[in-house]
A = this chain, B = another copy of it.
Amino acid sequence: MSESRTQDLSDSSAEARKPVRSGKSSATIYDIAKLAGVNPSTVSRALSKPGRVSAKTQKLIEDAAAQLEYRVNPFARALPTGRTNTLALIVADITNPTFFGIIRGAESTATARDYTLMLAESAESADTELTAARRMLATVDGLILASPRMDDNHIRELAREKPVVVINRQVDGVPSVVPDVNKGIGEAVRNLAANGHRKVAYVAGPPQSWMTARRWEGVKAACEWSHLECVQLPSPKPTVDGGRQVARDVVASGATAVMTYNDLLAIGLMQELQAAGMQVPDRISIVGFDDIFGADFTTPALTTIRSPMTACGTEAATLLMEVLHGAEEVSPALQVETELVLRGSSGRLLVADHPA
């Protein structure tokens, strides 16, 4: 093995090459092979799977790589292997803070394991979602679907091509991360009952949302258990504005406590109710869902059932990468706990329903 570790020729022909690649594009394994005096395939081995090459050539190659500021070309690597070290995350609505936690959790977890996150949103549209999913699927190793709006079959179809993890929904045969709503809902309903409420309204989310059904089921069951009457109210959209619009129906329902599909609805509802002169929580109690950013900015601060979104993002990314790294045994549905966050928007009813 030639000792001349310097760029300077071993003699062959006096070909004074610049040591550091002067050109524009970056160095390849060929360049470093030449500099280190080995075969390109050896360079590839040394750089991708350490240990399969002798210690001295290893160092030789690493030094040369460092000197040339070598960086792998991800495309060239992806072509034969198909692997990209990239994860895709599709969320239903980027403006919805519910997803901020998920994005954050997924991004940081991915980055920690040297993966990169690709982000897309479906704008609450099943079609857009599917299109985005298909487009990204070609480029990534795996896919995370947060609160997907497309139907189960489409999800399974995607899962057949690349590993998929679903958040906030359960699909047969596809691993998922879902908050267990019952604990938090149970706490909330018991609290409401203890404060003298007899009837609660549930303001629902988008019909395509799997989670809105789970939450309604949970509310209904908990209310039965506590002998409370309950009623479901549709909302035009799961936003602050949607919450405002549904205020009238809430009042008309005669409920003294309202639980909403998410915090946005709760906040909008509270704003509208207060604007109409209704005291919260003296006249009506409001309980949101998720504990989003800003839920404690309101006056009174919003009582809400916290869904650990960041944990969902983290767990989903972890799950996905485990599958990618060959873990076959993956629990079908990972549960994360919800809990009641008691703040000012719920409490004892001051104005009795039936005056004594």
The complex places the Cα of A119 from the Cα of B71 at a distance, in Å, of 20
Task: Name the segment of A11-19, A60-68, A134-142 touching the other chain.
Answer: A134-142
A181 to chain B, nearest CB (A): 24
Oligomeric state, in copies: 2
Partner of A293, one of B76, B120, B294: B294
A44 to B: closest C-beta gap in Å: 16
Q: Of A94-102, A147-155, A192-200, A333-341, which stretch is located at the interface?
A: A94-102
- Residues of B close to A293: CB separation below 8 A: 95, 97, 293-294
Does A125 interact with chain B (Cβ within 8 Å)? no
Contacts of A73 in B (CB 8 A): 79, 138
Q: List 6 A-B contacts (CB under 8 A).
A: A94-B107, A95-B100, A95-B293, A103-B119, A116-B120, A116-B139
Q: How far is the CA of A83 from the CA of B327 in the complex (A)?
A: 33
**Lowest 7 CB-CB distances: which A-B pairs, in order?**
A294-B294, A299-B299, A297-B297, A75-B78, A75-B75, A94-B104, A119-B119
Could you tell me if A267 and B297 are in contact, using CB atoms closer than 8 angstroms?
yes
A305 at interface, CB cutoff 8 A: no
- A61-115 CB contacts (< 8 Å) to partner B: 71-76, 78-79, 84, 86, 94-95, 97, 100, 103-104, 107-108, 111
**Could you tell me the dominant secondary structure of chain A's interface residues?**
mixed
A79 to B73, CA, bound (A): 9
Q: Which residue of B lies closest to A111 (CB)?
A: B120
Partner of A117, one of B84, B120, B267, B297: B120
Task: Flag if A107 contacts B79 (CB, 8 Å).
Answer: no
In the complex, what's the smallest C-beta–C-beta distance from A107 to chain B, in angstroms?
6
Q: Which partner residue on chain B sits nearest A114 by CB separation? A: B135
Contact B119 A117 (CB under 8 A): yes
Chain B positions within 8 Å of A104 at CB level: 94-95, 121
State which residues 27-81 of A face B: CB under 8 Å. Answer: 71-76, 78-79
Which residues of B are found within 8 Å of A138, using beta-carbon distances? 71-74
Does A118 sit at the interface, judged by CB under 8 A?
yes
List the B residue with the shortest CB-CB distance to A292. Answer: B294
Q: How many whole Å from A64's CB to the nearest CB in chain B?
A: 19
Least CB distance, A335 to chain B, in whole angstroms: 24
